Amino acid sequence: MHTPAEAMPTITWQHFEQTDIRVGTIVEATDFPEARKPAYKLLIDLGPLGMKRSSAQITKHYTLNDLPGKQVLCVANLGNKQIGKYMSEVLVTGFADEHGDIVLAQPAGPVPNGSKLI
């Protein structure tokens, strides 16, 4: 994990443009008891990209009831990742708090599902 004192290497604008970060709305959240670390299974509406699944280790700050309706920022072009028997299709982004627990990255206001971070 990088702290503010550990700057990441500089990338080009072209590299940044290759990262497809989209906003989506969580429509369903369920427990993921098979995960090695506490996590939820999420179903996220990414508008024109369709419904996508993700596993997220966000159990410290959010309950299953908190999540439906929340908009989140997702990396949509990392490819699928097998997590146990579950296939995660997008990476939900967030920030680690002072204890290392994840707080979701969200837009400041409502935007259309599938909107690309620019």
Dihedral angle over CA of 50, 26, 81, 11, nearest 10: 90
CB burial class (10 A; 0-12, 13-18, 19+) of residue 117?
middle
Query: Is residue 51 domain-resident?
Result: yes
Query: Is residue 47 domain-resident?
Result: yes
Give the contacts of 30 (CB within 8 A, at least 6 positions apart): 40, 41, 64
Q: What is the pLDDT of residue 93?
A: 98
Q: Which of 66, 74, 14 is nearest to 50 (CA)?
A: 74
Percent of all residues in the chain with a pLDDT value above 70, rounded to a whole number: 96
Q: What is the pLDDT of residue 56?
A: 96
What is the distance between the alpha carbons of residues 32 and 38, in angstroms, rounded to a whole number? 7
Query: Is residue 50 domain-resident?
Result: yes
Q: Which residues pair with 95 in a beta bridge?
A: 103
Query: Is residue 7 domain-resident?
Result: no
Query: Is residue 35 domain-resident?
Result: yes
The answer to whether residue 1 scores a pLDDT higher than 80 is no
How many domains in the chain? 1
The answer to whether residue 7 scores a pLDDT higher than 90 is no
**Residue in the structure block whose two tokens are 């579950």:** 86
Percent of all residues in the chain with a pLDDT value above 90, rounded to a whole number: 89
Structural domain span for residue 50: 19-107
Query: Is residue 10 domain-resident?
Result: no
User: Which two structure tokens, joined as six digits, stand for 40?
Assistant: 């939820």
**pLDDT bracket for residue 4 (50, 70, 90):** low
Write the CATH number for 71.
2.40.50.140
The answer to whether residue 104 scores a pLDDT higher than 80 is yes
Query: Is residue 114 domain-resident?
Result: no
Query: Is residue 76 domain-resident?
Result: yes
pLDDT digits (tens, 9 = 90+) for 24-51: 999 999 999 999 999 999 999 999 999 9
The answer to whether residue 2 scores a pLDDT higher than 80 is no
